[in-house]
Chain A
Amino acid sequence: MKLLYVNEEIFNISIHQKVKCEGCHADIKKIPHDPVNKVDCLIECHIIEPSSEQKFSHKDVDTYVKKSVHASVDKYGMPKKYQEDMPTCKNCHDEPLYRPLSFFKQVRPGISDTALGRCRVCHKKEEFILRFYNHVTTRLHRTRNPINIAEVCARCHDDPLLVERHGLSTRAVFSYRETFHGKAAGYFNEKVPDCLDCHVNTGESVHQMMNHTDPVSITYKENRYKACANVECHPGASPQFASYKVHAEFNLEQSPVQYYFTLFFIILTGGTLLPLMVIIFLDLIRRLFPDAVIRRRR
């Protein structure tokens, strides 16, 4: 049994707002419809891609994914082990929503009425203006908040069963959340890197994510520093800068050095500051009751 409800108000702020129901649910020709196939994101829909004037499709995305670490087949075209674990479109994407930016005074996101006023000088159709404003400004920054990205990755990469099956070294998002970047993302800071910033070569589609053993991958040992050295992050970062274990869990088995190091500092901090606070508290009690005496019974 499926829930078929579509929230129209939210659909209208989504990237697919111009695509009609039958654009994706292409084999529905009548009501009530016969049993239908699953939606194929690779079909050509009725939208015309303006630069090529061809019908729009996500076929290129599929090409990238097939060459990526998330492909269900290996480079020889043979099915990978546990290929059912490999993500399909809907595992990572629900309906993508616009995240428009208001640049005017750079104080708030959303739609700038001032900018819209400028659009209206030349363009007359309100629907066109809003749609293109949303489309363009959404593309100028993150399409999703770092927390939302991390949540998506966590569905697989924090699943202990999946991590074990694929021999992954860490619960990736759990360990990300332990880092400065992860903590800042938890406070809705959108300037910190999320999973995609470090796992995709700058300027490439996020669907081109490669295995860390692949020399062209940004996560390949010799390339890692390039992600950090991005001009928007830590320009000039050296290979040494990126040599630390980013996804170290607080875990004796996985990273004993980090574990004992962290444990030492936790005990040092707690072991000094807690008694200090207790002593201060006791001192304050004395200041509150300077003449109080606990007499022994004779």
Chain B
Amino acid sequence: MKHVLYKLYVIAFMFLTIGFIIVIWNVTFHHIIEEYEQRKALKEVTDIKEKRKREAEKTKFERIILESDERVKHYLGYRVIEEQRIEGHFHHIGFDIGPDNRSYCIKCHGDMPHDHVKELRAFLNMHAFFIACQTCHVKLEGSSPRVYKWYDRKTGELVPSPVLRNNAGSYNAKIIQIDINKMGEEQRVDSQDRIDFVKELKDREKELTEAQKSKAKKMIHEIVTKQPYICEDCHQKESPLLPLLELGYPRDRIDSILSTEVVGMIKKYTEFYMPRMLHPGEQVKEQERKQEGRM
């Protein structure tokens, strides 16, 4: 027994020695090598930086925003806020904006497809950040009650409601409507078949004739309705389209979303009108007022 313990002691000592060797190597010779490599890389970095700068001037939203790899941590003492750093962006984002890897619509239409109606495009594109295209642009027949779920923008998998865990709108997930087939089974509107079809179309687009392309586009858009759901379909108290409670929204947030203020804001566009929900801090104050009212 004593012999075994001694052997274990020696082995432990050996590991300790290896640890010391690594540490000493890192702070001495490795440090010199690292310095040398770093200086060599500096020239390359400078060239890459210049190249990126040139590219950024002509690049798309996705490349400068969604794939921005510069990160920053704000050490506030009692908490750390980590976020992407977007040059020239004064306000904090507070979360990572990942590309939507699941949506096949954005492959052609882009992340911010709404550009026709100047008055509405900012609001519609804002909603497109957390609502899948199909939720408004596909009206499924016979699917009653309608089923809506969240999917993760990065993995595409259905996920539990992220609403309570995140700030409003910054869910990195989207609401998608789910089709219920005749057998009563749930089927995703953005099915793998449709994703594969679009991918193949994009890959082979150059070799297709105009007629073939047109046919393919018709097939992709066969479920798309000409009359999409509009703002009032959700922002109303009577029978809102989205089951917000089931989607995990808290009661006070639902009240805010369904308030007439939102629709009123859209209709009263001609004059400047900042709705209370867009005034920073108003929600906190609202809660305080409610609490004071209860006391």
Query: Which residues of A line the B interface, CB within 8 A?
Result: 1-14, 17-18, 20-22, 28-32, 39, 90, 93-95, 97-102, 108-111, 126-127, 144-145, 147-148, 151, 159-161, 188, 190, 250-251, 263, 266-267, 269-270, 273-274, 277-278, 280-281, 284-285, 287-288
Q: How far is the CA of A29 from the CA of B274 in the complex (A)?
A: 10
Interface check B222, CB cutoff 8 A = no
Interface check B255, CB cutoff 8 A = no
What residues of chain B lie closer than 8 Å to A10, measured between beta carbons? 81, 92, 94
Are B21 and A274 interface neighbours, CB within 8 A? yes
Query: Which listed residue, B122, B272, B284, touches A28 by the CB 8 Å rule?
Result: B272
- Distance in Å from the Cβ of B18 to the closest Cβ of chain A? 7
Are A277 and B20 interface neighbours, CB within 8 A? yes
Please provide the chain B residues from 259 to 295 with a CB less than 8 Å away from any CB of chain A in the complex: 269-274, 278-281, 283-285, 288
- Distance in Å from the Cβ of A226 to the closest Cβ of chain B? 28
Mask for B93-136, Cβ within 8 A of A = 1, else 0? 11101000000000000000000001100100000000000000
Are A269 and B92 interface neighbours, CB within 8 A? no
What residues of chain A lie closer than 8 Å to B272, measured between beta carbons? 22, 28-31
Are B271 and A97 interface neighbours, CB within 8 A? no
**9 A-B pairs closest in CB distance:** A270-B28, A109-B77, A110-B78, A145-B75, A7-B94, A30-B272, A10-B92, A6-B91, A109-B78
- Distance in Å from the Cβ of A39 to the closest Cβ of chain B? 7
Chain B residue nearest in CB terms to A21: B274
Interface centre among A7, A144, A270 (most CB of B within 10 A): A7
Are A32 and B119 interface neighbours, CB within 8 A? yes
Chain B residue nearest in CB terms to A160: B46
Are A274 and B28 interface neighbours, CB within 8 A? yes
Are A7 and B17 interface neighbours, CB within 8 A? no
Q: How far is the CA of A159 from the CA of B53 in the complex (A)?
A: 13
Supply 30 A–B pairs (Cβ within 8 Å), ascending by A.
Answer: A1-B64, A5-B169, A6-B280, A7-B93, A7-B95, A9-B94, A9-B167, A22-B272, A30-B272, A31-B269, A31-B272, A93-B90, A94-B89, A102-B78, A110-B79, A127-B281, A127-B284, A148-B75, A188-B75, A250-B35, A251-B39, A266-B28, A269-B28, A270-B25, A274-B21, A274-B24, A277-B24, A278-B21, A284-B14, A287-B10
Are B270 and A39 interface neighbours, CB within 8 A? no
Q: How far is the CA of A111 from the CA of B77 in the complex (A)?
A: 11
What residues of chain A lie closer than 8 Å to B274, measured between beta carbons? 20-22
What residues of chain A lie closer than 8 Å to B10, measured between beta carbons? 284, 287-288
Chain A residue nearest in CB terms to B280: A11
Query: Which listed residue, A93, A102, A145, A284, touches B17 by the CB 8 Å rule?
Result: A284
Interface size class of B (residues with CB under 8 A): 35 or more
What residues of chain B lie closer than 8 Å to A3, measured between beta carbons? 65, 86, 89, 93, 97
Are A8 and B168 interface neighbours, CB within 8 A? yes
Given contacts A101-B77, A144-B74, 18 further A-B contacts (CB under 8 A): A7-B92, A14-B92, A22-B272, A28-B272, A29-B272, A30-B272, A93-B90, A94-B91, A110-B79, A111-B78, A127-B284, A190-B77, A251-B39, A266-B29, A266-B31, A270-B24, A270-B28, A285-B14
Q: How far is the CA of A95 from the CA of B89 in the complex (A)?
A: 9
Mask for B4-46, Cβ within 8 A of A = 1, else 0? 0001001101100110110011011101100100010010011
Q: How far is the CA of A1 from the CA of B27 in the complex (A)?
A: 45
Q: How far is the CA of A64 from the CA of B24 in the complex (A)?
A: 48
Q: How far is the CA of A190 from the CA of B76 in the complex (A)?
A: 11
Are B14 and A288 interface neighbours, CB within 8 A? yes
Q: How far is the CA of A18 from the CA of B77 in the complex (A)?
A: 22
Query: Which listed residue, B74, B91, B271, touches A30 by the CB 8 Å rule?
Result: B271
Query: Which listed residue, A7, A110, A127, A284, touches B91 by the CB 8 Å rule?
Result: A7
Query: Between A and B, how many residue pairs show CB distances below 8 Å?
Result: 170
Q: How far is the CA of A2 from the CA of B88 in the complex (A)?
A: 10
Chain B residue nearest in CB terms to A41: B90
- Whether A100 contacts B279 in the complex (CB less than 8 A), given A127-B284, A270-B25, A284-B14, comes out as no
Are A97 and B81 interface neighbours, CB within 8 A? yes
Q: How far is the CA of A104 from the CA of B284 in the complex (A)?
A: 26
Are B92 and A94 interface neighbours, CB within 8 A? yes
What residues of chain A lie closer than 8 Å to B18, measured between beta carbons? 281
Interface centre among A12, A101, A284 (most CB of B within 10 A): A284
- Whether A5 contacts B122 in the complex (CB less than 8 A), given A12-B280, A277-B20, A288-B14, comes out as no
Are B270 and A17 interface neighbours, CB within 8 A? no
Q: How far is the CA of A94 from the CA of B88 in the complex (A)?
A: 8
- Distance in Å from the Cβ of B95 to the closest Cβ of chain A? 7
Are B280 and A17 interface neighbours, CB within 8 A? yes
What residues of chain A lie closer than 8 Å to B280, measured between beta carbons? 6, 8, 11-12, 17, 20-21
Q: How far is the CA of A145 from the CA of B79 in the complex (A)?
A: 12
What residues of chain B lie closer than 8 Å to A5, measured between beta carbons? 91, 93, 169-170
- Distance in Å from the Cβ of B76 to the closest Cβ of chain A? 5
Q: How far is the CA of A275 from the CA of B217 in the complex (A)?
A: 71
- Distance in Å from the Cβ of B281 to the closest Cβ of chain A? 5
- Distance in Å from the Cβ of A174 to the closest Cβ of chain B? 9
Are B24 and A273 interface neighbours, CB within 8 A? yes
Are B92 and A1 interface neighbours, CB within 8 A? no
What residues of chain A lie closer than 8 Å to B229, measured between beta carbons? none
What residues of chain B lie closer than 8 Å to A98, measured between beta carbons? 76
Interface check B72, CB cutoff 8 A = yes
Chain A residue nearest in CB terms to B59: A1
